[in-house]
A and B are shown apart, each in its own frame.
Chain A
């Protein structure tokens, strides 16, 4: 089964702080995604990538950068964190031959004070 790991699992930072969330998948999937989950909202797509060096903008990209350094690793960067970015962040991956099934990491809970 697909394995997606995220680090850190919990993070506290201050307004204006610099945060990097990491995601690694070990199943050679082409696609990787970053979502945020907030009460009253479904998972919302921030950025996604279909391969190393590729980056695509999702539905809620403002305030976020992302980088896909290898097929396995996808990072989400918050360079000037704001309290509105307090959320639960999920990373996911999928294979281009089976877009119906996304495999999710356990999530990173971020608190911006």
Chain B
């Protein structure tokens, strides 16, 4: 079946430093699934941060970026300068042909002020 791998369970970054959260994927039904980053702030539900549906394209939102790399089957999340308010749990996800989203295990980001 489909799978999404996030290798870091927790990441700590100092405020104003750069961030990268790794995500790799595997889809069984189609070659190029839709890819997403969702974010969950403390006490809230998940919300869509950004999505990319075309291989090779980049998505961006709130200073975050992620590029759909079909060669390495990766969709890493990056930000040049994090803020304390970015502290949250970030989930990589994919959707193939149907309704279902497949999520990674999540990466908890803690930004030190």
Contacts and interface: CB of A to CB of B under 8 A. Distances in A.
Our verdict on whether A and B bind, yes or no, reads: yes
Interface of A: 4, 31, 37, 40-43, 45, 48, 50, 90, 92, 94, 99-107
Q: Which of B44, B47, B93, B99 has the most CB of A within 10 A?
A: B99
By secondary structure, the B interface counts as strand
B109 interface: no
A32 B90 CA distance: 22
**Interface residue tally on B, bucketed by range:** 20 to 34
Interface of B: 4, 34, 36, 40, 43-48, 51, 53, 91, 93, 95, 99-106
The 4 closest A-B pairs by CB, nearest first: A104-B45, A42-B103, A104-B46, A43-B103
A21 B95 CA distance: 26
B46 to A, nearest CB: 4
Contacts of B44: 106
Contacts of A103: 45, 47
A29 to B, nearest CB: 12
Nearest to B40: A104
A48 B99 contact: yes
B99 to A, nearest CB: 5
A37 B104 CA distance: 11
Given A45-B100, A102-B101, A90 B4 contact: no
B105 A41 contact: yes
